Amino acid sequence: MAETKVDCSPKRARFFCTAGRGLERFVTEEVTRKASAVDVEAMSGKVFFTAEPDMYRLRQIKSGERLFLLLRKEPPLSVPKGKGNALSMLRETMVGESKVWISALDLWQNLQETVQHMNDVQNDQIKASKRKLENDSALYTSKLCKKEHGAGEVCILDEHTSDKFLTQSENQCFFNDEQTNNIPPKTLFSAKSMFTFRVSCRCTGAIAKLFTAQELGRVIGKALVRQFGWKPDLRKPILEVFVHINDLYSVVGFPIMRQPLANRAYIQSTGLRSTTAWAMVTLAEISAKTIVLDPMCGVGTILLEAAKEWPHVHFLGMDINASQLKNAVDNVKAAGVEGSVEFLKGSVLDLPILSESIDVVISDIPFGKKFASSKNMKELLPEILCEMERYVNYIVSYAVNYFFVNNTLFTKLWALKLI
């Protein structure tokens, strides 16, 4: 594997996204489609790519966890004998020439200015959404409901917008924003007395048997202090230097955003991991003029992710828990997609939905750990799928369930193809 030369010109740069296990292919598809990325390389837990440093496009990546500017990517290291020699080699390899750091840091600073502007706009939107949440939603009966289902059992957002659709059938803090904002533009990295950093080092594979992550982080940190005169700050640094060394590659990068991509600013109450929800709606292959149902929607994360991407599709969420539905309504209002999503209260085993009225079903089916049931989930699953078959239309229905067993991620996908 040859060393990657990082092009940090204004026109394009080298980035990488971290991803949950099994989600690398979704990140690959997204960076190619949304950021026009080239030289895309997917590896376990990471996707490397080259793209224009356009934060408005890069921030649209929904399946990635964190976004980094790539400083250097080396092939697997051949460590010499002797701890001193090995540490010296690692220091020289991972730090390298100053001009590479200065070029990358200059681009990183430009990206920070864009991110700060985007955050300001986003904060204004969040404040407006909070004011909007103060108004209670009116209740009415959805046209998709059975006649015997009363309006008092329905939790809906907006009757006017719903009728219209029926007839048409941003974790850990990485950067200290206050410190960064106090430094004039274009002088951030010349102000050595003000610039602070920390090294976050991760070691796996053979190298982890020789050194701890703390040892390597300390060596790299001392080298940066000598080379640039920066001050270490483990609590609130301006810059985070991310280092990952394993048997496949050695990577140095800078996190671009304060919060991970997976942290959605528009989600007020968290439920299913947003990246997992995004992968599920992608698998469903949603198209225009379809009606999409999540019969066990919880706080509405799946519907929220789908509605943000397909605002002109009609989404319907159901849950038996009234408090969960209240959180779902708040989430949808905060995200500004209340014109696309409505909610009903009902049991997944007897949904108040007309037969053959739903085109696509997407759901994170509980498996009896976080949310208990009087029945065993092995007994409930056939009943749930049977009820889905009743109300689904003659297209394709997906019910996807991601779950952990003995720390291993399993995926079960049921596709009901009704001919």
Do the domains spanning 13-114+173-255 and 266-417 agree at the CATH topology level? no
Order of all β-strands in the sheet with 196-203: 38-43, 46-51, 13-18, 66-74, 250-255, 239-245, 196-203, 231-232
For residue 224, give the 3-state DSSP assignment. helix
pLDDT band per the 50, 70, 90 thresholds, residue 43: very high
Rounded to the nearest integer, the mean pLDDT of the chain is: 77
**pLDDT, average across residues 392-414:** 42
CA atoms within 13 A on the CB side of 164: 10
Q: What percent of the chain has pLDDT over 70?
A: 72
Beta bridge mates, 243: 201, 252
**pLDDT, average across residues 361-370:** 71
Residue 133's CB is within 10 A of a number of other CB atoms, namely 14
Report the CATH architecture of 13-114+173-255.
2-Layer Sandwich (3.30)
Residues of 353-366 as b/e, b for ≥16 C-beta within 10 angstroms? beeebbbbbbbbbb
pLDDT band per the 50, 70, 90 thresholds, residue 168: very low
pTM of the entire structure?
0.76
Amino acid code (one letter) for 285: E
Would you list the domain boundaries of the chain?
13-114+173-255, 266-417
Looking at domain 266-417, which of 1.20.1640.10, 3.40.50.150, 3.40.50.300, 3.30.210.10 is its CATH number?
Answer: 3.40.50.150
pLDDT at 369 over 60: no
Residues of 311-336 as b/e, b for ≥16 C-beta within 10 angstroms? eebbbbbbbbeeebbebbbbbbbbbb
Cα gap 113→118, rounded to integer Å? 9
For residue 143, what pLDDT is reported? 56
More confident residue, 179 or 304: 304
In terms of average pLDDT, the best of 115-124, 181-190, 348-357 is 348-357
For residue 120, what pLDDT is reported? 73
Contact 76, 1 (CB under 8 A): yes
Residue 342's CB is within 10 A of a number of other CB atoms, namely 28
pLDDT in tens, 219-237: 999 999 999 999 999 889 9
